């Protein structure tokens, strides 16, 4: 396959970026999308040109770092598929592929296609953890959890923190990500210790980081590569109300 590429190039956070055009021959349909970018970088290096900066780590849909906006869709055209899992057979011979970084105030571009997603880390640090006694690993069955609850918790624990939900949302809302993290811990007995204040702390950091509000367009759910449902947002809102009532009673 031959493909044409329009790729966002930006030297650093402050620089003004622009699209640059590239062409690549001999692209195999079985090639992964990131392997195609590796091949392009190899070509650029051979020509003495600066390679294109893009983020990646696991290349198997686990780490959430391969955040690319491809032809107007976060992670490209294939549903429930991360950029690193995407194969070039999803594109046609001769097609032009436009590649951009995530666009959101809370995710500033560091260089080319790489954005700073540390705002998500700060939301997690505010409440996305559980308190445990340190020491050796506890006996697996010492805290029973029903199959129904563990299945639900596992569904939301699938969130890989990629940020596609934010990139897809016209308001750059992080509600799908935050709700997945809140609901996962709210379901499990291990999450009860911090349950009273967790959602309030995480929501406060989410707002302070500059993410927008949710206006129920469901674009986040449509583009989430892990199929996280917007139902978790409703559950987070319920957690928030309960948390407010409990903490105001205590105060």
Q: Pick left, alpha or beta for residue 146 (phi over 0 → left; psi -120 to 50 → alpha; otherwise beta).
A: beta
Is residue 104 involved in binding ligand SF4 (CB under 6 A)?
no
Task: Please state whether beta strands 3-9 and 69-70 pair in parallel, antiparallel, or not at all (unpaired).
Answer: unpaired
Sole binder of ligand SF4 in the list 180, 203, 206, 219 (CB under 6 A): 180
To the nearest whole angstrom, how small is the minimum distance from the Cβ of residue 149 to ligand FES?
Answer: 27
What are residue 98's DSSP bridge partners? Answer: 6
Cβ atoms of 175 and 236 closer than 8 Å: yes
- How many of the chain's residues bind ligand SF4 (CB under 6 A)? 14
Token pair 């970018």 in the structure block, residue: 37
Region from 2-10, 44-52, 81-89, 209-217 binding ligand FES, contact rule CB under 6 A: 81-89
Region from 34-42, 121-129, 176-184, 196-204 binding ligand SF4, contact rule CB under 6 A: 176-184
Residues 187 to 246: which contact ligand SF4 by CB under 6 A? 224-226, 228
d(CA 236, CA 94): 45
Cβ atoms of 124 and 180 closer than 8 Å: no
Binding site for ligand SF4 (CB under 6 A): 159-165, 176-177, 180, 224-226, 228
Binding site for ligand FES (CB under 6 A): 56-59, 61-66, 82-84, 160
């Amino acid at each position: 396959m031959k493909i044409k590429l329009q790729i966002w190039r930006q030297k650093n956070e402050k620089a003004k970026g622009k699209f640059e055009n590239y062409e690549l021959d001999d692209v195999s349909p079985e090639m992964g999308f990131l392997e195609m970018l590796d091949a392009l970088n190899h070509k650029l290096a051979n020509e003495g040109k600066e390679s294109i900066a893009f983020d990646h780590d696991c290349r198997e849909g686990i780490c959430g770092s391969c955040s690319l906006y491809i032809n107007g869709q976060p992670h490209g055209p294939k549903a429930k598929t991360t950029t690193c899992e995407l194969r070039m057979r999803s594109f046609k011979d001769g097609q032009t592929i436009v590649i951009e970084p995530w666009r959101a105030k809370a995710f500033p571009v560091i260089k080319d296609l790489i954005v700073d997603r540390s705002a998500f880390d700060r939301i997690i640090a505010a409440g996305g953890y559980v308190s445990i006694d340190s020491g050796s690993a506890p006996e697996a069955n010492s805290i029973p959890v029903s199959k129904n609850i563990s299945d639900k918790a596992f569904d939301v624990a699938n969130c890989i923190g990629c940020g596609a939900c934010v990139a897809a949302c016209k308001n750059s809302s992080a509600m799908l990500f935050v709700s997945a993290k809140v609901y996962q811990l709210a379901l499990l007995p291990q999450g009860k210790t911090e349950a009273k204040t967790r959602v309030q702390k995480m929501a406060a950091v989410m707002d302070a980081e500059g993410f927008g509000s949710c206006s129920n367009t469901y674009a986040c759910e449509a583009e989430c590569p892990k199929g996280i449902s917007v139902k978790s947002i409703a559950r987070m809102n319920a957690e928030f109300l309960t948390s407010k009532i409990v903490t105001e009673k205590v105060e």
